[in-house]
Structure 1
Amino acid sequence: MDAYMDIDAVDLGNVMGSNLPSSDTQQTTINDVPCNMEVAVIETAHDSDTEDEEFSPGSKRRGNNKPNWARRGSVEILKFNNQGQAVEPNETVARWQRYLGLMVKDHTLFGLDVLDWRTFRKTKVLDEAWCRIKRTIDWSDPETRKKSRKIRYTVERKLNDRWKQFKAKLRKEWYAPNWGTEARFHCGDKRVNNNQWVKLVDHWETPKGQRRASANKRNRAKKRMSHTTGTKTFAQVRNQYKIEHEGAEPDRCTMFELTHTRSDGKPVDKESEKAIMDMRQKISTIKDAKRASHLPEIITNIEINEVYASVLGKEKHGAIRGFGIGVRLDDVPDVLVEKRGAQLEVQALREEHEAELDHIRKESQEREAKLRDEMNKQEMATTDRMKRLEMQLLNQQAMFERFFSAGLLPNIVPISQNGAANLNFPTEMGTHNNSLQTSSVDAFETPHHVPISPSTLQKKHSSL
């Protein structure tokens, strides 16, 4: 079902901050794309193809420009890469960038008095913005539908970037020139809600706001290089390279040359020229070393990242240079990242925890080895005792056999190792407890006690 909304000149002026004639308004038809909210896309007319037209004090007013995006309920066909970045067609991508840039200037959605971008996520503002954006894109391609989650992530990152840029421009044009005067509380840009502007100015003048502004100014002053892509995104440059090289991805050093070299082949500035020469020199050194070692002169992705980091430094803040907004560290393998601040603390805690685990594991292994040694010693001691008992038993059996062979004892079945022997004494033979120095005498069965005369015993002993 299509949703329709009529926007008159009064409503349009309240929303976008411009007093346009009623002829510039239109009835907007929004295609039915699955969405959790029923919202309307507000479109305004403008004159130029630039992203927007801010009005500096004393400049001639030209009016707000229009996104020229998804007019009259139509949908736009875009091709996205695997990271959710729009890459084709070029003209549509340019209008797509302007459309996102104008959306963050709608104070009914993205208020200037909001100090933390995450607030928009908590208040469902980003859900509403994505719902509007989603309705303007053609989702008939299955590949585009599969990338919906990444497309939204990239869109939110771009909106965040455009929102910060918009506030920075307003500060430069309307706050900095009027600093210290009452005029700083009035913004001449008609798209800005004045109540939100006053709150933003109050925040800038707090100690926290001043510290942040000073830090941003110092960081901005460190920038020494500029790229030459203009309105074309890095994702488009990378996609064009893939088309021209049969699907091959440009490495990071090649990408730096593509984005920092003019059409005549000259670097955009001296810093870029030095960086390009250093990269080429390091790559040439690696190839020479491989050639000397009779190895293929193929530069791996790991080696390219090492060269890139040695010239331009490691990556910071979770972003990756040369890939554009929306690409995360997980999307690019083997990237060297500089760890600082909380990351260093977390890394130190992790290493300390791992060292403690190793110590505990080592102590456990030592205790286990000690216990195993003690058990082995006990087993060996038990085995020795069993052997000694077995030898004693064999010695006793040999003694009994000598007694029987001498006629001192009746015939006896040899003692078995598995149990006591069956000893059968004749009725005329008695027993003499003192003649057997063994603990197994009690095992003999003596049904009758026949006294033996001392003379008989003396004769038997003499025969031995």
Structure 2
Amino acid sequence: MSFDVSSNSKYSSSRNSKKQARDAKITIEFDDNGQPCNDETTQLLSWIGVKARDANLLPLSYLDWRKIPQQNKDDAVNKIYEKFNIPEDKRKWVEKKLSKRWRDFKHLIKSNVFNKYSTHEERLAHLDARVPLEQWNILLETWSQDSSQIISERNSRHSSNREYSHTTGKTPFAVIRERKRKEHPDGLPPSRMELFKTTFTKKDGSSAYPIVEKKIAKMDEKLSKLPVQMRDDSDMQDKIFRETIGEDTHGRVRMYGVGLTPKQIHGTAAKRAASYSRENAQLRTHFMMLQETINEHRAEINELKDKYEMLQAQMEKCLRVMKGQQS
């Protein structure tokens, strides 16, 4: 019996290549604000959600995220780092995202099971398979207490106060901001007013929420009252955004997602970076104006040159005629 060694070698090589592709880490890029911003970010957030919903890794029986043993949190973060190539100094960011998704999962279970059904049998029949029974019993006891119910009602009121939601689906604002920045000729990020229009409207510019259209119309009206040369100024657009949408609350900056504070966005370093960006844009505009002036002068010179050559040709023709008459 004979074996085709080359064929087996090709199969082995192909299998190894596929394994390497599976094992290759996905690289995540971060912007100047410390937020993941490349298109692979959606994969990262999805995987963080998967690990946050792993009750064996991050038990749901704890009332508060802060009560979960740090070792469990570290293990969950390590699971994320096994799949993604993330800078080491972003571990706190990953942990914060795990915390958010863990709380979201608990809220989902409470809304879809505990609040929806009143008897133990009904709740057990509709219990999410990802929730271990022993953890469910602890959750049931906790949620049945009066203090827990008061907190839940307060959080529900806060959620119901939201007047509208964005249209970006699972794509984070930081990713959209980075895309818009790359589209800008000077590499400038969009203002919050521009980002609001992009993320809270459909592709045709309309919105499912009349209040969104009213706010956009109000911002556009205020912008139109500014001198033309000031309408592209990001500081002026941000001022209009805050006047229309509202001032930032403590520890949160609108249009920047979770984890960023007003000081980080509006602090000295941020202002300096924004100033450099604006100066770069102004220099680029000035250069383009000079280039345009040079091109205009070049066109005038070429026009004069053509006239000179035409006059010279006419003069030579006249000289030839005069010379012929004399002879």
* Among 263, 267, 272, the residue aligned to 1:330: 263
* Among 10, 24, 28, the residue aligned to 1:74: 24
**Partner residue, 1:428:** none
**Partner residue, 2:171:** 232
Name the SS for the 1:332 alignment partner: helix
**Partner residue, 2:85:** 138
2:172 and 2:207 mapped to 1: Cα distance?
18
2:75 and 2:261 mapped to 1: Cα distance?
24
Post-superposition shift, 1:132? 2.1
1:166 and 1:210 mapped to 2: Cα distance?
17
Q: What residue ranges of structure 2 are gaps of 5+ in the alignment?
A: 1-19, 269-327
Amino acid of the structure 2 residue aligned with 1:169:
L
Is 1:319 matched up with 2:249? no
Is 1:118 matched up with 2:66? yes
2:263 and 2:77 mapped to 1: Cα distance?
24
Post-superposition shift, 1:245? 0.5
Matches within 5 A, 1:59-458: 72-88=22-38, 90=39, 92-120=40-68, 123-138=70-85, 145=87, 148-149=88-89, 151-184=90-123, 188-246=127-185, 247-285=187-225, 287-288=226-227, 296-297=229-230, 300-333=233-266
Q: Give the paired residue count.
A: 248
Query: What TM-score, normalized by structure 2, do the two folds share?
Result: 0.69
1:167 and 1:250 mapped to 2: Cα distance?
35
1:201 and 1:81 mapped to 2: Cα distance?
42
> CA-atom RMSD, angstroms?
2.5
2:112 and 2:231 mapped to 1: Cα distance?
51
Between stretches 94-103 and 79-88, larger displacement belongs to 79-88
2:106 and 2:97 mapped to 1: Cα distance?
14
1:117 and 1:330 mapped to 2: Cα distance?
25
1:222 and 1:259 mapped to 2: Cα distance?
19
Name the SS for the 1:87 alignment partner: coil
Structure with the bigger RCO (C-alpha within 8 Å, sep 6+) is: 2
Post-superposition shift, 1:93? 2.6
**Partner residue, 1:416:** none
1:282 and 1:178 mapped to 2: Cα distance?
50
Post-superposition shift, 1:102? 0.5
Contact 1:185 1:201 in 2 (8 A): no
2:138 and 2:95 mapped to 1: Cα distance?
24
1:132 and 1:212 mapped to 2: Cα distance?
32
1:107 and 1:181 mapped to 2: Cα distance?
21
Amino acid of the structure 2 residue aligned with 1:218:
R
2:60 and 2:125 mapped to 1: Cα distance?
14
Contact 1:186 1:198 in 2 (8 A): no
2:196 and 2:81 mapped to 1: Cα distance?
33
Post-superposition shift, 1:185? 5.3
Deviation per CA, 1:277-316: give whole Å up to 9, x if none. 111122223x14xx7xxxx525655443332222222222
Name the SS for the 1:79 alignment partner: coil
* Segments ≥4 residues shifted beyond 6 Å: none
Query: What TM-score, normalized by structure 1, do the two folds share?
Result: 0.49
Deviation per CA, 1:105-134: give whole Å up to 9, x if none. 1112211111111223x5332222222222
Q: What residue ranges of structure 1 are gaps of 5+ in the alignment?
A: 1-69, 140-144, 336-464
**Partner residue, 2:7:** none
Structure with the greater alpha carbon radius of gyration: 1
Cα distance change of structure 1 residues 245 and 300 upon mapping to structure 2, 3 Å threshold: closer
**Partner residue, 1:56:** none
Cα distance change of structure 1 residues 262 and 239 upon mapping to structure 2, 3 Å threshold: same
